[in-house]
Structure 1
Amino acid sequence: MVAIAGMVTLADDSQLFAKTLLGPDRDIFPIEAAGLRELRETGGVLTPKVLHASPRLLVLERMRPRPDDEAFWERLGRAVAVLHTSTAADRFGWHRPGWLGRLRQDNTWDSDGYAFLAERRILRWLSEPLVEAAFDATECRALERLCAALPDLVPQRPPCLTHGDLWQENVVSTAVGEPVLIDPAVSYNWPETDLSMLWCSPRPPASERFFAVYQEIAGIDDGWRERMEIFHLRELLSTIAHDDDDWGAAEAVRKIIAPFRRSSGPTRV
């Protein structure tokens, strides 16, 4: 757990959302606030208004729970498609390091998307103690082989601004049902970074409308469903590193890297 969060009721009965950090002071909340601002001002998506951001406290405008009907997921698909198609860039990364949970996210700029994905989003986790304990040397080599094969597995695309942690619990709503994004881990990265978080995490049946609308507006390269698990490796490894592997994240990683346990794995496009 990184923070304690909840609704705060003011003297006039209005409500705000607040989070307070557990443990020593870190710049988690100021970076979260900067990410929300980047998504809103550069990417054009709705995010809560930041009322206060300090190393100990983050206060946000109150939002509502997310509805799970097709109309809502269609609006979300349109918003994320516009975010991705309107922010194309020539470098992967961000102007400052970030956080994923309570662990650092390396956003050092890189013109090579394959190196960025391999070194800063996947292999970066191998040095975390709980990840080291979860996988043996053969499995680590298989993960390295998968990363070496990324140019054969992932089509080249320009980076765009991504939310970075876009699973369904980081999507809420305005009072009138417009999608609002929270808790970002932003960087300029492949758009499938965001798609994989929604695709691979538990989600309601109505979310199929998100992917249909997104594809209509932004387009997705053929074979995208098969690539989702590759992009999701970062989330699986992060889950293990945070000691949250009570639902089989390590086994999910082993399944993904199984074809690469030999000296040469298959290639897919």
Structure 2
Amino acid sequence: MLTSAWLDGLSLGDPIAADPLEGGYASRTFRVRTALGGSVVVKTQDNLPENLYALEADGLDALRAPGGFAVPEVLRVTPSYIVLSDLGTSEPSPTYREDAGRALALQHQQTADKFGYHVDNYLGTLPQRNPWTGDGHTFFAEHRLLRYLEEPNCHNQLPADDRRRLERIAGNLVNLVPVQPPSLLHGDLWHGNLLPAPNGGPAMIDPAVHYGWPEADLATLLIYGRLSDTFFDAYEEVHPPSPGWRARLPLLHLRELLCITAHWPDRAETVQEIHTILEQFD
């Protein structure tokens, strides 16, 4: 798949090849090589919400901060595709893991007065609701847990007992999760959305940005693994979480598991993971 319109007017040269890239759910992603010897990344898909790529661009811009992660430059946004600078395939620097942990800690030190974001955006292809909310427990309960119960795939796959458990846990979050500031979150921070920048330092892609609990970003990273303790040790040096944070991470990871269940109609393994966590914290 190669479309000249992707690069028209960008002074990058004509596209000569589009190599598929792995990762991501919503889009087909390509590294597009140009006649001038450069490359860009193009994400495209049919039948997506028309503002999805514009909101991705907004999230990338929100994550740009001195001393933080590198993020790709947004070169073009349309309803059907987004063109990004190519971070390439560099090797991580010798201090990549420590630098990534510190960068995330610095990002989480950027806070707002309330939880939420200035606009609703997307997690996958489903709306991520971000109304400004003064209380973090209310925000997480209503807009990160219970909102998925109305999605048809969750309604059809989650047993009634587990839906009731989820409602009880949502109502008891104040006793399960300590007060945390509304910090700037990537919002979908599994290891596949972290990668080395061209200089070998840490970079991030594919955000679902909002202001929320810092431990929610850590939950996705730790549950999905592939990051050493070096990363988390560096994070803790700069931005120490409250005691017991690792034990809480499965609870905060419910949001990701519910979102996965909401996207697909046959997720028996994920539903079982949800059941196990609900039994643990109910």
Question: What is the TM-score of this pair, normalised by structure 2?
Answer: 0.86
1:69 Cα deviation after fit: 7.6
> Whole-Å Cα distance in 1 between the matches of residues 152 and 164 of structure 2?
17
Correspondent of 2:159 among 121, 136, 149: 136
**Deviation string for 1:56-105 (max 9, x for gaps)?**
111111113475787211110010001111x1222000000010001000
- 2:64 is paired with a residue whose SS is helix
- Conservation of the 8 A alpha-carbon contact between 1:4 and 1:22: no
- Segments ≥4 residues shifted beyond 6 Å: none
Q: 1:75 aligns with which of 92, 99, 107?
A: 99
**1:202-244 per-position Cα deviation (integer Å, ceiling 9, x unaligned):** 314xx21110010011001111011101111010011111118
| Displacement of 1:136 | 1.9
Deviates more, 1:23-32 or 1:111-120: 23-32
Change over 3 Å in CA distance of 1:244–1:191 after alignment to 2: farther
Q: CA deviation at 1:118?
A: 0.4
**CA contact 1:76–1:179 (8 Å) conserved in 2:** yes
- Tell me what 1:93 maps to: 116
Return the match for 2:140 from 95, 114, 117. Answer: 117
Out of 233, 249, 256, the position equivalent to 1:212 is 233
State the distance in 1 between where 2:247 and 2:198 align: 36
Q: Is 1:37–2:58 an aligned residue pair?
A: no
Matched with 2:75 is 51
Following superposition, the deviation at residue 248 of structure 1 comes to 1.7
Q: 8 Å contact 2:105–2:235 — kept in the other structure?
A: yes
Aligned to 1:232, the other structure's residue is in SS state: helix
TM-score relative to the length of structure 1: 0.90
- Of 91-100 and 70-79, more deviation after overlay is shown by 70-79
The answer on whether the counterparts of 1:2 and 1:22 sit within 8 Å (CA) in structure 2 is no
Structure 2 CA distance for aligned equivalents of residues 172 and 28 of structure 1 = 22
Structure 2 contact 75–83 (Cα < 8 Å) conserved? yes
* Equivalent position of 1:6 in the other structure: 30
Give the Cα–Cα distance (whole angstroms) in 2 for the partners of residues 70 and 209 of structure 1: 12
State the 1:183 CA deviation. Answer: 0.2
Cα offset, 1:140, TM superposition: 0.6
Q: Is the 8 A contact 2:31 2:39 kept in 1?
A: yes
- Give the SS at the match of 2:189: coil
Q: Which aligned pairs between 1:112-261 and structure 2 lie closer than 5 A?
A: 112-204=135-227, 207-243=228-264, 248-259=269-280
> Compared with structure 1, are the counterparts of its residues 91 and 84 closer, same or farther at alpha carbon in structure 2 (3 Å cutoff)?
same
Which amino acid is the alignment partner of residue 142 of structure 1?
A: R
Distance in 2, matches of 1:117 and 1:176, equals 36
Residues 28 and 173 of structure 1: is their aligned pair in 2 closer, same or farther, counting only changes over 3 Å?
same
Q: CA deviation at 1:148?
A: 1.1
Q: Per chain length, whose mean CA-contact separation is higher, i.e. which structure has more relative contact order (CA < 8 Å, sep 6+)?
A: 1
In 1, Cα distance between equivalents of 2:211 and 2:158? 29
Root-mean-square deviation over aligned CA pairs: 1.9
Structure 2, unpaired ranges of 5+: 1-24
